[in-house]
Amino acid sequence: MKRCDLCDCLAKLYCESNEANLCWQCDTYVHSANLLAAKHSRTLLCHVCQSLTPWTGTGPQLVPTVSGCNSCVSNLSCKEERSSEAGDHVGDNIDVDEEE
Ligand SMILES: [Zn+2]
Ligand SMILES: [Zn+2]
Ligand SMILES: [Zn+2]
């Protein structure tokens, strides 16, 4: 399990510039600090296996999304299993750009 380098909870994304695994909260904290930090490109981690996904984002704050790596996404599309993560309030702001 990858953990957030700052607060030790589950890592949700990886910042290449910082070489750090971060959760949503710490991502916002770190990347809203200044304009340069907001330009960091962050790669979302798969919510199943925590490997890097094709999804990236920049800006002071990333909208929390559930993302999967290629292998997990293809697995899930067969099984249609929807596991609700306890204590993980994603909200109804899910905004994934599904670009090919
Ligand atoms: Zn954190
Ligand atoms: Zn960063
Ligand atoms: Zn995965």
**Residue 56 in domain:** yes
**Residue 74 confidence (pLDDT):** 87
Domain count, the chain: 1
Counting DSSP H helices and E strands in the chain, the numbers are 3, 4
**Residue 71 confidence (pLDDT):** 92
**Residue 43 in domain:** yes
**Residue 100 in domain:** no
**Residue 82 confidence (pLDDT):** 53
**Residue 98 in domain:** no
Region of residue 80 (phi > 0: left; psi between -120 and 50: alpha; otherwise: beta) = left
CA of 99 to the centre of ligand 1 (A): 28
Residues of the chain with pLDDT below 50 are none
Ligand found nearest the CA of 44: 3
**Residue 3 in domain:** no
**Residue 34 confidence (pLDDT):** 96
Residues of the domain holding 20: 13-77
**Residue 93 in domain:** no
CA of 75 to the centre of ligand 3 (A): 9
CA of 46 to the centre of ligand 2 (A): 18
**Residue 17 in domain:** yes
CA of 16 to the centre of ligand 1 (A): 16
**Residue 75 confidence (pLDDT):** 82
**Residue 96 in domain:** no
Q: Report the C-alpha gap between 18 and 22 in whole angstroms.
A: 10
Cβ atoms of 5 and 22 closer than 8 Å? yes
